[in-house]
Structure 1
């Protein structure tokens, strides 16, 4: 509906139509929380461990790029060795994101080691490869993640790559990272998108009143 409304709005702006036929159309209700299931902290650790112990060197890189960098699956599988570089003393990955936007994503040491292990002595080409030596796609990545989840003893109805991006956001929020910083890391245009991932936003232990009271403890 957003696409349709945007199309007709453009027609009105360009003078093709006088009024948008989608102006008064009721839009479906969007739930406050994302319906996508994420992994718990312990489940995420188990999948990371399974990836690190896997004989397939690309498995750990795949899990790290999705769960520790928060990349979308097309961003991870589309990354090439040539996209690796350095910026201000940090190892970075040049990512081709939504809308053909280019962003530099810093690589924590653990992720850098996982990627180095995946590329081995290769100097060009895709970072993530299949067992046949071709570029990994979303279907292959989904199969690999399901295999790793099974090896980690995690029983989920349907394991798919976006669960790790979801886990990337929820784990940072659970760790107390500021919402604005999480939004920037996830590259969400609207903070409300990030908030939909926050499973613990109703947790009273995290209520700002407690933080303010602790900050003003000396006066109270």
Structure 2
């Protein structure tokens, strides 16, 4: 089993490998919880896993489809490497994923409330997370993968070295608000990740999503009277 997992994950690099391993771990944990050896699974077991993702975990169709794709890929490699004769995931029905996402980003006032909730949070990582995502426009894996060593200066401007999809590296200038948020999260540390979870380890995308949901609950409790709007802008 260990060889099968290693052979599958060996096809990926960087953040893609990390995310793929995370999705595969969910399936392997589900198998362990149900007393099922992954290499003894049949099609109905994979169907049960998909229903568990949908009905118990209540994931969106896109998430279910992504995690099923990882399982399909894992078993395909098992067949290629002659570990299995047939893949139990070959004929599993995939959930229908809308061509266009129905999810809308936060409006102007909503984002103002979110950034206010993050700024006033007792957890300094909240403000840095929202600043990196909302003000700097990073993807969640780019924000979580950023290190203190990636901070620097170019032509008198503070910059962050960001590793994007495909391993592409770009230098992103830091607006003052983002730089302040990062400095607050980093504190006196000189190495390690910029964003940390509650256990003082690197924040992953799952922990980041939980923090954003926590902040969303906090900013939902802010009333419209807490926002002062003047001219063309609003401030908390």
When normalised by structure 2's length, the TM-score is 0.51
The counterpart of 1:121, out of the listed 188, 193, 206, is 188
Partner of 1:130: 197
The counterpart of 2:148, out of the listed 76, 81, 92, is 81
Distance, in Å, in 1 between the alignment partners of 2:187 and 2:98 is 48
Distance, in Å, in 1 between the alignment partners of 2:107 and 2:152 is 32
Tell me, what secondary structure is at the counterpart of 1:71? coil
More helix by share: 2
What is the correspondence of 1:50-199 to structure 2 with a 5 Å cutoff?
50-153=117-220
Distance, in Å, in 2 between the alignment partners of 1:62 and 1:36 is 20
Q: Is the 8 A contact 1:43 1:154 kept in 2?
A: no
Task: Please give the per-residue CA displacement for 1:158-177, whole angstroms capped at 9, x wherever unaligned.
Answer: xxxxxxxxxxxxxxxxx9xx
4+ residue segments displaced more than 3 Å: 28-31
Task: Please give the per-residue CA displacement for 1:101-152, whole angstroms capped at 9, x wherever unaligned.
Answer: 0001110000000000000000000000011100000110011001101111
Relative to structure 1, is the Cα distance of residues 114 and 29 closer, same or farther in structure 2, using a 3 angstrom cutoff?
closer
Distance, in Å, in 2 between the alignment partners of 1:81 and 1:93 is 9
Partner of 1:49: 116
- Gaps of at least 5 residues in structure 2 are 1-96, 223-232
Tell me, what secondary structure is at the counterpart of 2:194? coil
Distance, in Å, in 2 between the alignment partners of 1:79 and 1:154 is 31
Relative to structure 1, is the Cα distance of residues 29 and 123 closer, same or farther in structure 2, using a 3 angstrom cutoff?
closer
Tell me, what secondary structure is at the counterpart of 1:103? strand
Distance, in Å, in 2 between the alignment partners of 1:147 and 1:115 is 20
Task: Please give the per-residue CA displacement for 1:9-42, whole angstroms capped at 9, x wherever unaligned.
Answer: xxxxxxxxxxxxxxxxxxx9955xx533100000
Distance, in Å, in 2 between the alignment partners of 1:127 and 1:146 is 20
Relative to structure 1, is the Cα distance of residues 154 and 68 closer, same or farther in structure 2, using a 3 angstrom cutoff?
farther
The number of residue pairs the alignment matches comes to: 127
- Gaps of at least 5 residues in structure 1 are 1-27, 156-174, 176-220
Tell me, what secondary structure is at the counterpart of 1:152? helix
Q: Is the 8 A contact 1:77 1:128 kept in 2?
A: yes
